[in-house]
Structures are given as C-alpha cells and as structure tokens.
Structure 1
Amino acid sequence: MTDCGCDKAKKDLEEYLHHELQAEDARDIREHLEACADCAGEHQVGVVLIEAVQRACRETAPEELRVQVLARLRELQLHA
C-alpha cells in the first residue's frame, strides 16, 4: 500500500471524483481515503455535490415558466 498523503489526495480529489486520474494515482488516493477520515470526509462532500448538480441538471422548469420567459424575451426583442 502506498499512502500518497493528505496533500496529494486533496490536490487531486477533484480529478479523482471525475475519474480523470491514471489508474495508479487513483489507486493511491483510494487507499489513502480508506485510511484517512479527514480526506474521506472531503471525498464524501464532493460526491454529494456532484450528485446534487447531476439532479439539478435533470430537473426542468415548469411549462408555465418557460412560456412566460419566452413571451418576455419576445417582448424585449420587439422593443430593442
């Protein structure tokens, strides 16, 4: 087991969360997270944020709001 240390784990956490690291670097960080409660907590915060953003991107505005926004945009274009 190679513990990459907190500094490296925190520096590379964003890339780790998005699966953007080389396999060896990801393994080192994963092993560090298993042994370090502080870094594991930061990882969990990152996971929650990613999930919240993904949920928000799937949500759509109510049809009534969409109609109102489009009507207002058309009105502004006419008076521009």
Structure 2
Amino acid sequence: MTDCGCDKAKAELEEYLHNELCSADAQDIRDHLANCPDCTSEHHVGRVLTEAVQRACKEAAPEELRAQVLASLRSLQATH
C-alpha cells in the first residue's frame, strides 16, 4: 500500500473520477482515499457532480425549445 498524500490525491482527483489514470496511480489514489476523510469527502462531491453532469448531458431539449433556438440562430445569421 502506497499513500500518495493529499496533494497528489487532490491534484489527480478529476482524472481518477474519469478513469484516466494508469493503474498504479489509480491504486495510489484508492489507497489514500481509504485512509483520508478529507480527500474521501472531496471524492464524494466530485463523484456526485460528475454523475449529475452525465445525467444532464443525456437529456434532450424539448422539441419546441429546439425549434425556437434554431429559428433565433437562423435569424441572427441572416442579419450578419
């Protein structure tokens, strides 16, 4: 078990949340989170935020809103 410390854990937390770290670095972060309540709390907040953004990105705008936005954009393009 290697504890990478708070500085590294916090600096790499976003990459960890998105599974963008190599396995050794990810394991270092996991080991640190297992023993650091402060970093574990930040990890929890990051995970909740990431999941909320992922859900929001899956939603589609209502068709009426999409049509209004497209009409506004076309109108703006026509005048410029």
In the alignment, which residue of structure 2 is the partner of 1:79?
79
After TM superposition, give the deviation of residue 79 of structure 1 in Å. 3.2
Long gaps (5+) in structure 1: none
RMSD (CA atoms): 1.3
In the alignment, which residue of structure 2 is the partner of 1:46?
46
In the alignment, which residue of structure 2 is the partner of 1:29?
29
Separation in 1 of the partners of 2:21 and 2:57?
25
| Identity between Structure 1 and Structure 2 (%) | 70
After TM superposition, give the deviation of residue 67 of structure 1 in Å. 1.4
After TM superposition, give the deviation of residue 9 of structure 1 in Å. 0.8
Amino acid at match of 1:71: A
* TM-score for both structures, normalised by structure 2: 0.88
Separation in 1 of the partners of 2:77 and 2:27?
54
After TM superposition, give the deviation of residue 17 of structure 1 in Å. 1.0
Distance verdict in 2 for CA 1:36–1:70, change over 3 Å: same
Amino acid at match of 2:7: D
Residue 2 (str. 1) matches residue 2 (str. 2): yes
Distance verdict in 2 for CA 1:30–1:76, change over 3 Å: same
* TM-score for both structures, normalised by structure 1: 0.88
- Runs of 4 or more off by more than 3 Å in structure 1? 77-80
